[in-house]
Amino acid sequence: MSSRLRENRKTAEIRAKLSETQLQVTDFIYPLFIEEGTNIKKEIVSMPDIYRYSLDRINEELEEVVELGIKSVILFGIPLHKDAEGSESWNDEGIIQQAIRQIKRDYPNLQVIADVCFCEYTNHGHCGVLCNNDVDNDLTLVNLRKQVLAQAKAGVDMVAPSGMMDFAVREIRDELDKNGFQHIPVMGYSVKYCSSYYGPFRDAADSAPSFGDRRTYQMDPANRNEAIKEAQADVDEGAAILMVKPALSYLDIIRDLKNNFDLPIAAYNVSGEYAMIKAAGKNGWIDEQKVMMETLLSIKRAGAAIIITYFAKEAARVLNDNKGS
């Protein structure tokens, strides 16, 4: 006789005991946008409840982050000065270097991760040095070394190169190691697709390209097998964590990486995914909280041990409330 599978769904208690996937607050990394200036708390129109903060006000956000039990943040900087190479990104007094020092001083137990890229810092919005209207891979690697060294000297706990430059992890790992920062891990944006889901982020970070797009260096959304090759390259070059970005439309890729590599898998629940849920919730078309939690659960079920998400605070409140009930 075949079993009645519904028997294991009859009560909330049984369902909870047999749940195969559980979200935890410690799964989340919360992105922070830090703008150079003073007295800034500016809501990002396309990302409700997400703000840009200046350093003198960032602790307003961090107090809540720590209180909710979120253990990690990833930093994105918006400088006052931009140039063709994004040189503010390796200025020892640049906005992210200042932010790292301040956060580690005020919240020493909070893991601080720095995004390593140039699109927020260049006057053209692309992710590196331009030659003939395209990003020159190897010239950009030279500047990546400068950027990660400045972040390491400021006290960062982890670096995360997001530009999809070939050999980026290798160059970063070498620069960290030869300067005595062997303890700083690299979380590669190993599989980053050229996605339309990034739109709101470009509002948040002032990072939209001034011409063209990023198809010559970010991955084609049609490609699956290429993701394994990109991830393998990061493994070979010394990455400690592999990331897939975006998350929701690439759950199959998250699972592919989980099945093929022993390293922890991270996924970035990106701005467009966040904005769509927020907009539909505001219009009453969905139950925003339930869809948020289902979305995050799907990302973890697919194989992500780490989820970078703008929902981190809201999801933490739900999980903490459920734990206390």
> What percent of the chain has a predicted confidence (pLDDT) above 90?
74
Report which of residues 17 and 269 the model is more confident about.
Answer: 269
- Per the CB < 8 A criterion, the answer to whether 164 and 219 are in contact is yes
What total of structural domains would you count in the chain?
1
- From 38, 66, 67, 68, select the one nearest 52 (Cα to Cα): 38
166 vs 13, more confident: 166
For residue 291, the enclosing domain spans 20-324
pLDDT at 212 over 90: no
Task: Judge whether 304 and 265 are in contact, CB under 8 Å.
Answer: yes
Pick the more confident residue, 134 or 173: 173
Active-site residue set = 192, 245
The answer as to whether 15 is a domain residue is no
Give domain status of residue 3, yes or no. Answer: no
pLDDT for 108 equals 97
Q: 9 lies in a domain?
A: no
- Banded pLDDT at 278 (limits 50, 70, 90): very high
178, 183, 170, 163: which is closest to 239 by C-alpha? 170
- Average pLDDT over all residues of the chain: 92
Q: How far is CA 131 from CA 10, 89, 137, in A?
A: 63, 20, 10
**For residues 277-301, average pLDDT:** 98
Domain for residue 181, yes or no?
Answer: yes
pLDDT at 203 over 80: no
Give the helix ranges, DSSP H, for 162-287: 168-178, 199-205, 225-237, 251-260, 271-282
pLDDT of res. 206? 61
Q: Is residue 194 part of a domain?
A: yes
67 in any annotated domain: yes
Q: pLDDT (tens digit, 9 = 90+) per residue, 109-165?
A: 999 999 999 888 887 777 777 778 788 888 989 999 999 999 999 999 999 998 888
4 lies in a domain? no
Tell me the per-residue pLDDT of 26-79, one tens digit each, with 9 for 90 and over. Answer: 999 999 999 999 999 999 999 999 999 999 999 999 999 999 999 999 999 999
Residue the block writes with tokens 């890229």 = 117
Q: Is residue 30 part of a domain?
A: yes
Per-residue pLDDT averaged across 228-246, rounded?
98
CATH code of 234's domain: 3.20.20.70
